[in-house]
Structure 1
Amino acid sequence: MHIVDVCGFYTPHGGGVRTYVEQKLAIGPQLGQEITILAPGARHEVIERGPGARIVYVPCPKFPLDRKYHYFDDTDQVHDALDALAPDFVEVSSPWHSAAMVAKWDGAAPRSMVMHADPMSAYAYRWLAPPFRRETIDRHFYQFWDHMRAMGEVYDRVVCASHELGERLRRGGVANVEINPMGIEAHRFSPSKRDPELRAELLRECRLPPDAHLLLGVGRLSAEKRWPMVVDAVHSAGQRFPLGLVLFGQGKEKRTIQQRIGGNPHIRVFGPETSREKFPRIVASADALIHGCEAETFCMAAAEARASGTPSIVPDLGGAADHARNGAGLRYKAGSAASAADAITQMFSQPFPAFTAKSRTMEEHFADLFASYAAVGGTAIPLETIKVAATRL
């Protein structure tokens, strides 16, 4: 089956969508699929990633709010590209403009929309709740819900990686919702990678002795991640027992987070850990992972923590909440520093019970995804036909 992913917010410079795309390009051909990523770029370009995997860029303007990205602005251009590629199945990676473009394409191939974003949680709910209830906010954002219901009627699958988002879309009247959790890179994370010396080193960075508790934060330093709220929770819980937090990430909110940390020497912010060998050791060596964002569509950091045997302290909404299931962590009231501080205290008031250190893999995610696509009518097409079509774009 030839799957074309119309990926409106792909950039080679990083981000969660790029990580997902790279894994799809690697795993898809291993599972017998042909994968083409159709992405907006600076110029027309076809980048082969091996047999049955490629990225096809079409020239598009830069996105004004983030110059690392380009965006589709011409419906006919997208339709012409799909006609030339002749996919068996079309996937869209954004619920916005590109989804509407592909919905209007008159090709016969079935199609899916993968929810890589939860815009209501990332923006409307975060900005307006409280004081307003989510039901009230939904009524005022009826245009979003009208759009999603319309997309649900056109798309054969609306794929969600978290139960909370999928169930919320279903309650909102969106058809064809399918919950398919993503996963982590197989065999990379494990409790066996716990390193007492590395843990002691990280606590020294926080000016704490080895018998203190060590929290780990991982993610972009952006407003929706709520790191200042996490800092407040750690400030509060740290009044009760020795507690350090090491936060790994980068982003525009770094100065705001540093200001919230103030003079607390027990909270440290580092850039992303790029060593593939060291990062799993850091995750396994923490006493718990803490996360603040209720708008995650999956939450890779919490999935990697679970596979490492590290419990998670996560909000009770969004994709992060799934990873505290079955005794693998604690949930607190989303957006509440006081509730998060109580969860930290509960986590460290006594030894946390052992849990199964296993997370779903991306191979399992894609196997289920492709089986679902095949069930709605995907057929095979020769690879040489795809390559010839791509060169004509």
Structure 2
Amino acid sequence: MKIVDVCAFYAPKGGGVRTYIDRKLKVGAALGHEVVVIAPGAHDHVEQRGPNARIVWLKSQLFPLDFNYRYFNDTEALYAALDREAPDFVEVSSPWRSASTIADWPGNAPRALIMHADPLSAYAYRWLDPVAKRPTIDRAFDRYWRHLRRLDGKYDMVVSASPGLSARLVEGGLRHVVTNPMGVDPGVFSPRLRDEDLRRRLLAMCELPESATLLLGVGRFAPEKRWPMLVEAVEAAGSRHPVGLVLVGQGRDRKAIVRRVSANPHIRILKPITDRGELARVMASADALVHGCEAETFCMVAAEARASGLPLIAPDEGGAADQARASGGWTYASASAAAAADAIADYAARRERGETGPHAIIPPPRTMDDHFAELFASYERLVTPHRRAA
């Protein structure tokens, strides 16, 4: 089966989506499929990733709100690339313009929309929750819901990685929603990588003793990740227990976050970690992962923390909440610094009493290989009738 993924979110400096796509290219080939990713790039070129895996970069414009990303701006070129590939199955990894474009592509292949983004949670709910109830917000954004329902009518599957997101999509009128949780890179993240000396050094950077609690935050420095809220929460919890926070990431808000934490000796920002093995070692050496974004569709970093043996402290909505509940972690009222502080303080107190910690028995998440095996099997069930019809 030849699968073409039209992925507007794939970028050299991307985060979870890049990790997901890179693994898909490997797993697809290992399962006997040919996987081609069409992505927006600085210029037209083809990047071979193996005998049955490659990325077709199409020259595209920079995304004005984040120069790490680009967007497809030439529909004819995109259609021509799809026609050349002649796929058995087409994926689209963004619910925005590219999804509408591929919905109208005249090709005969079945297609799936992968919900790598939850725009309502990332933007509308985040902006308006303090002043309006969810049904009111949904009515105000009915145009977006109509857009999703139109896509649902054009696509054979709408794949969601989060039970919470799936429930909202179904409630919003979508009929082709399939829940398929994602996973982590197998063999990368593990509690066995815990390094007590590294932990001591990180706490020393935070000017704290070995007995303190070391929290880790990983992700893009973007508004929806709510890093300032988490910093406020850690500062409040730190007045009750010795708590340090180490942040790992990059993004357009980095300078603002650096300014925000500059006066606090117990919070430090590391240089971006691009090596997965190094990130896995840092992650396994912390005491818990804190997360602030309630708009995650799966939350890869939370799954990686679970695989590293870490407890999770996460908002009570979105993919991070699913990960925390599945592993017996802590959840707090989304967007509330006070609630996050209480959750952090409760975790720190329990850890000080020896009731919990990174060596507690935490159910690991599934692997990406499990996810892709299930996903590709569902594609094959859709492709067979199309082949017969042809």
Looking at structure 1, the residues matched to 222 and 262 of structure 2 have their Cα atoms a distance apart, in angstroms, of: 18
Residues 27, 352 of structure 1: CA spacing in aligned structure 2 closer, same or farther, 3 A cutoff?
same
Moved more, 32-41 or 287-296: 32-41
Q: Which residue of 1 aligns with 2:53?
A: 53
Unaligned runs of 5+ in 1: 382-393
Unaligned runs of 5+ in 2: none
Residues 255, 68 of structure 1: CA spacing in aligned structure 2 closer, same or farther, 3 A cutoff?
closer
Where in structure 2 are the equivalents of 1:130-169 lying within 5 Å? 130-169=130-169
Specify the code of the residue in structure 1 equivalent to 2:274: T
Q: Which residue of 1 aligns with 2:377?
A: 371
Aligned counterpart in structure 2 of residue 352 of structure 1, from 356, 380, 390: 356
Q: CA deviation at 1:360?
A: 1.1
Contact residue 246 and residue 267 of structure 1 kept, 8 A? yes
Q: Which residue of 2 aligns with 1:195?
A: 195
Tell me the alpha carbon deviations over residues 157-192 of structure 1, each in whole angstroms, 9 at most, x when there is no partner: 111111111111111111211111111111211111
Looking at structure 2, the residues matched to 51 and 42 of structure 1 have their Cα atoms a distance apart, in angstroms, of: 24
Q: Give secondary structure in 1 for the equivalent of 2:32.
A: coil
Contact residue 110 and residue 386 of structure 2 kept, 8 A? no
Q: Which residue of 2 aligns with 1:174?
A: 174
Q: CA deviation at 1:306?
A: 0.8
Q: Which residue of 1 aligns with 2:97?
A: 97
Q: Which residue of 1 aligns with 2:73?
A: 73
Q: Give secondary structure in 2 for the equivalent of 1:143.
A: helix
Q: CA deviation at 1:380?
A: 11
Aligned residues: 381
Looking at structure 1, the residues matched to 49 and 206 of structure 2 have their Cα atoms a distance apart, in angstroms, of: 42
Q: CA deviation at 1:73?
A: 2.2
Looking at structure 2, the residues matched to 188 and 294 of structure 1 have their Cα atoms a distance apart, in angstroms, of: 26
Looking at structure 1, the residues matched to 26 and 385 of structure 2 have their Cα atoms a distance apart, in angstroms, of: 21
Residues 61, 198 of structure 1: CA spacing in aligned structure 2 closer, same or farther, 3 A cutoff?
closer
Q: Are 1:236 and 2:242 counterparts? A: no
Q: Which residue of 2 aligns with 1:391?
A: none
Q: CA deviation at 1:277?
A: 3.3
Residues 377, 276 of structure 1: CA spacing in aligned structure 2 closer, same or farther, 3 A cutoff?
closer
Q: Which residue of 2 aligns with 1:26?
A: 26
Where in structure 2 are the equivalents of 1:213-252 lying within 5 Å? 213-252=213-252
Where in structure 2 are the equivalents of 1:381-392 lying within 5 Å? none
Where in structure 2 are the equivalents of 1:175-324 lying within 5 Å? 175-324=175-324
Q: Which residue of 2 aligns with 1:339?
A: 339
Specify the code of the residue in structure 1 equivalent to 2:235: H
Residues 90, 344 of structure 1: CA spacing in aligned structure 2 closer, same or farther, 3 A cutoff?
same
Q: CA deviation at 1:257?
A: 2.1
Specify the code of the residue in structure 2 equivalent to 1:44: D
Looking at structure 1, the residues matched to 278 and 107 of structure 2 have their Cα atoms a distance apart, in angstroms, of: 47
Tell me the alpha carbon deviations over residues 210-256 of structure 1, each in whole angstroms, 9 at most, x when there is no partner: 01111111111111100010011111111111111111112222233
Residues 374, 103 of structure 1: CA spacing in aligned structure 2 closer, same or farther, 3 A cutoff?
same
Specify the code of the residue in structure 1 equivalent to 2:381: A
Contact residue 88 and residue 378 of structure 1 kept, 8 A? no
Residues 251, 61 of structure 1: CA spacing in aligned structure 2 closer, same or farther, 3 A cutoff?
closer
Moved more, 233-242 or 352-361: 352-361
Tell me the alpha carbon deviations over residues 18-76 of structure 1, each in whole angstroms, 9 at most, x when there is no partner: 22221111111001111011123333322221111111123333333334433222333
Looking at structure 2, the residues matched to 251 and 41 of structure 1 have their Cα atoms a distance apart, in angstroms, of: 19
Specify the code of the residue in structure 2 equivalent to 1:374: E
RMSD across aligned C-alpha pairs, in angstroms? 1.8
Q: Which residue of 2 aligns with 1:386?
A: none
Q: CA deviation at 1:352?
A: 1.9
Moved more, 348-357 or 78-87: 348-357
Specify the code of the residue in structure 2 equivalent to 1:322: D
Q: Give secondary structure in 1 for the equivalent of 2:40.
A: strand
Looking at structure 2, the residues matched to 364 and 6 of structure 1 have their Cα atoms a distance apart, in angstroms, of: 22
Contact residue 39 and residue 55 of structure 2 kept, 8 A? yes
Contact residue 324 and residue 331 of structure 1 kept, 8 A? yes
TM-score (norm 2): 0.93
Q: Give secondary structure in 1 for the equivalent of 2:204.
A: helix
Specify the code of the residue in structure 1 equivalent to 2:305: A
Q: CA deviation at 1:9?
A: 3.0
Q: Which residue of 1 aligns with 2:123?
A: 123
Identical counterparts, % of pairs: 56
Q: CA deviation at 1:296?
A: 1.1
TM-score (norm 1): 0.92
Q: CA deviation at 1:297?
A: 1.4
Contact residue 88 and residue 379 of structure 1 kept, 8 A? no
Where in structure 2 are the equivalents of 1:3-14 lying within 5 Å? 3-14=3-14
Looking at structure 2, the residues matched to 54 and 68 of structure 1 have their Cα atoms a distance apart, in angstroms, of: 21
Residues 276, 9 of structure 1: CA spacing in aligned structure 2 closer, same or farther, 3 A cutoff?
closer
Specify the code of the residue in structure 2 equivalent to 1:227: W
Q: CA deviation at 1:357?
A: 4.3
Moved more, 346-355 or 60-69: 60-69
Looking at structure 2, the residues matched to 30 and 379 of structure 1 have their Cα atoms a distance apart, in angstroms, of: 24
Q: CA deviation at 1:11?
A: 2.0
Contact residue 89 and residue 378 of structure 1 kept, 8 A? no
Residues 194, 262 of structure 1: CA spacing in aligned structure 2 closer, same or farther, 3 A cutoff?
same
Looking at structure 2, the residues matched to 253 and 21 of structure 1 have their Cα atoms a distance apart, in angstroms, of: 25
